[in-house]
A and B are shown apart, each in its own frame.
Chain A
Amino acid sequence: QKEVEQNSGPLSVPEGAIASLNCTYSDRGSQSFFWYRQYSGKSPELIMSIYSNGDKEDGRFTAQLNKASQYVSLLIRDSQPSDSATYLCAPSTDKLIFGTGTRLQVFP
């Protein structure tokens, strides 16, 4: 089993819809969880961090963490074409372990 699993996509959603991105991880010792957004040809950009079970909202983004199920998700409300990018889930103990990322396409 890979340490971090994400559906590589592409996930295609229409503008204005909710995009749901999911991630499972294998290391029960992970304490921190991050979502990074990576535009093509650019470096990863931190968009959300979550450390405790439950939901964390920041603008149009909501991160959800379930440590018992080893599952973390990212919801993007009112998706915009500018949200089109690859989203990387990264659990962390000391170093970040990335999945392959999910490519999101938001079409007008």
Chain B
Amino acid sequence: GAGVSQTPSNKVTEKGKYVELRCDPISGHTALYWYRQSLGQGPEFLIYFQGTGAADDSGLPNDRFFAVRPEGSVSTLKIQRTERGDSAVYLCASSPLSLAHNEQFFGPGTRLTVL
């Protein structure tokens, strides 16, 4: 079956612009996660959804970042007034419903570059 997909694969924008990053999880996976990875670092947790609701958004760095998952499937990560420091690879992962053994499967990522 299809894995996690993310679009676009690359996004170049200018400082101050608004961007949206999309994630389509594995069919049937109820949990969806967003991470951000900078060069030389491990992925850094941003937010995760169980169904339509954000179960934990403690990793969002500030209020410029927002994510939605209105129908419990596709999710969109939204970044307002982008800054150069937002440049990173944004990874999405999904997992079947299981809090104890939440093996997560990652998409290919979106590389965001803010000029």
Contact = CB atoms under 8 A, between A and B. Distances in A.
Contacts of B40: 8, 100
Give chain B's interface residue range (CB within 8 Å of chain A). Answer: 20 to 34
A46 B107 CA distance: 12
Given A94-B48, A96-B45, A100-B42, A45 B106 contact: yes
A88 interface: yes
Contact of B105 (A4, A32, A42, A46): A46
A49 B42 contact: no
A94 B101 contact: no
B41 interface: yes
Contacts, number: 60
Contacts of B43: 44, 88, 96, 98
Nearest to B48: A95
B56 interface: yes
Interface string A31-64: 1101010000011111001010000000000000
A49 B101 contact: yes
A31 B91 CA distance: 23
A32 B44 contact: no
A4 to B, nearest CB: 8
A18 interface: no
B2 interface: no
A94 B42 contact: no
A100 B91 contact: no
Interface of A: 4, 8, 31-32, 34, 36, 42-46, 49, 51, 88, 90, 92, 94-101
